Amino acid sequence: MYVITENCICCGACVPECPVEAISEGNEVYLIDEEMCTDCGTCVESCPVEAIEERD
């Protein structure tokens, strides 16, 4: 699974990169919907602050 960490600066760059629209604005940082995410990894490279990480 992929998660967005507290390093997120809420720039929104990752949102249009996700082919299944699994990323949305959260309360403090952006969020990946675990149910929708297909673990494609496309969003990782779009983040300027490396806030998207793969977790077990």
What dihedral do alpha carbons 27, 15, 53, 25 form, nearest 10°?
A: 0
Q: ∠ CA(53), CA(55), CA(56), 5° rounding?
A: 165
Q: Does residue 12 interact with ligand SF4 by CB under 6 A?
A: yes
Residues 16-45 that bind ligand SF4 (CB under 6 A): 17-18, 20, 22-23, 30, 32, 37-43
**Residue 9 touches ligand SF4, criterion: CB under 6 A:** yes
CA distance 28 to 4: 11
- Chain residues binding ligand SF4 by CB under 6 A are 2, 4, 8-14, 17-18, 20, 22-23, 30, 32, 37-43, 46-47, 49, 51-52
